[in-house]
A and B are shown apart, each in its own frame.
Chain A
């Protein structure tokens, strides 16, 4: 199959994610109403032009709240992936490139950890770190995602350890650090990028779940998960609250999922 830079999935995913990212960026600087202001309109009003997603039982504008909440969720997911990818790649690079006993031990540990449901592990970590704090959410989720990144990159680094361009760099006297970062790392992007999209989606899902359960992000910070738990209480009177909030989560994950699909297909590997 010929490799192309772009395909339908990638394009659709980039457009959808770009749209979501633009909305979120807008939400960081401007929202139609103050997300916490009470009585911006009638209580429990359905979607109208003035209130795109209606209002809740306190008369707060749901669209503004979704924008603000999506921002928190988005930032937490990004930081989580950053923590997981950087630490995981570092661990995977070193163990994959050098091999040995450390490699064996770390990989067995990763095997054991990835066998666990990530949300369960994150819950254990959050109960140790202390629930209800957004920084603890990032730390807990970031740590949970390290093993999966380590595994993916370890395989890639181990496979590229002895290819010719690495050998020639070694013969030219390049240091191990330089080989790892300059020679091998760019060539692992093909597996690292799809792994990052999957990690991002898992992070969104995990953060939303934990905040829904009341042990992730808690007020005054806005979060889509916490808002869904609020929305559940108003389900009979204001179903649009749950639909708007849940819909935002779905679109966020769907867009990045399509990017991941597109990246995998571009790599010629249909998983």
Chain B
């Protein structure tokens, strides 16, 4: 428990650093939001007036603290291009993106772990080589291309879902999840290939260790050793790897949301970047980064439950 508490403190520190970087970066470049909002009507007096109204004349630490507090109070400023509170734009999309990334994650875990175990049975030989080539090929297919192919096959040809008509997540959860499933498959395929590859090399490395030879020489069968000894030891790097996968899922999700016209954070992010709508970009980047950092912390805590040796090792 002590470890978990320490890891959560570390998590909070990381989040503060991340948000500070995001805030500072955009604060530095975006110029005066008041000037942008006023556009051609910007006179020095009106800019100063609006800046005072928006609280932009306050010093940097005060503005940062106020902005950070906004994640809890729901006040993240006003979007330049929609003239709407950022929170109102962002909040309804968080659920969609979280669903998509969790669905992709579940798909990766459920498919790649059994597949990786199966693939690790063979080491060397033509089947192993074929597996490697298939892995490399699947890793080469960009998720947005898979997404386009999936929507061609399942939407345009088979009419299993209507591309561009995303059902409301709250009103029609089953339909929405079905729609998200296709996007999740597109995101998952290259990651499954990577995870299988990683799992196979971890297990094969583990199987060469002395304790496995000892266990087998004492009359245990290979499958039993794999299940009772090897799997537990191989699990730690796999959990770490899967947590890193969350970062990749989030990144791929940004693009795939566009492919399937899913109204999530990624789509809003891309639109906001094109419009140079910095308050929205800032908020979304921080939310996505928080999500990734959170996954990393969860993995560390899980690993420490799996492998008691890590409890002594401490923070790393």
Using a CB–CB cutoff of 8 Å, the interface residues on chain A facing chain B are 8-9, 12, 112, 115-120, 123-124, 126-128, 131, 201, 205, 208-209, 212-215, 228, 231-232, 235-236, 239, 242, 246, 249-251, 253-254, 257-258, 261, 270-271
Partner of B270, one of A12, A215, A257: A215
Within 8 A of A (CB), among B114-148: 129, 132-133, 136-137, 139-142, 144-145, 148
Please judge, given known A-B contacts A116-B289, A214-B274, whether A209 and B148 are in contact too, CB under 8 Å.
no
Contact status A254-B136, CB under 8 Å: yes
Contact status B247-A115, CB under 8 Å: yes
Interchain nearest-CB distance for A147 vs B (Å):
13
User: A215–B285 Cα gap in the complex (Å)?
Assistant: 16
Which are the 3 A-B pairs with shortest beta-carbon distances? Answer: A117-B251, A253-B140, A246-B145
Contact status B254-A232, CB under 8 Å: no
Provide the residues of chain A in CB contact with B133, threshold 8 Å.
9, 12, 258
Partner of A212, one of B144, B274, B288: B144
Which residue from chain B places its CB closest to the CB of A9 in the assembled complex? B132
Provide the residues of chain B in CB contact with A271, threshold 8 Å.
201
Majority secondary structure of chain A interface residues (helix, strand, loop or mixed): helix
Provide the residues of chain B in CB contact with A128, threshold 8 Å.
25-26, 29
Which residue from chain B places its CB closest to the CB of A271 in the assembled complex? B201
Contact status B255-A258, CB under 8 Å: no
Which of the 9-residue segments B36-44, B83-91, B149-157, B211-219 touches chain A? B149-157
Contact status A120-B250, CB under 8 Å: yes
Tell me if B296 counts as interface (CB < 8 A to partner A): yes
Provide the residues of chain A in CB contact with B278, threshold 8 Å.
127
User: A123–B22 Cα gap in the complex (Å)?
Assistant: 12
Provide the residues of chain B in CB contact with A115, threshold 8 Å.
244, 247, 292-293, 296
Q: Could you show 19 A-B contacts with beta carbons less than 8 Å apart?
A: A115-B247, A116-B247, A116-B292, A117-B248, A119-B252, A120-B247, A127-B278, A128-B29, A205-B142, A214-B274, A215-B273, A228-B145, A235-B148, A235-B151, A242-B148, A250-B140, A250-B145, A254-B140, A261-B136
Please judge, given known A-B contacts A112-B14, A123-B269, whether A231 and B148 are in contact too, CB under 8 Å.
yes
Please judge, given known A-B contacts A124-B281, A271-B201, whether A8 and B129 are in contact too, CB under 8 Å.
yes
Interchain nearest-CB distance for B182 vs A (Å):
14
- Among B22, B142, B152, B296, chain A packs the most CB atoms within 10 A around the CB of B142
Provide the residues of chain B in CB contact with A116, threshold 8 Å.
247, 289, 292
Please judge, given known A-B contacts A117-B251, A212-B144, A213-B258, whether A242 and B149 are in contact too, CB under 8 Å.
yes
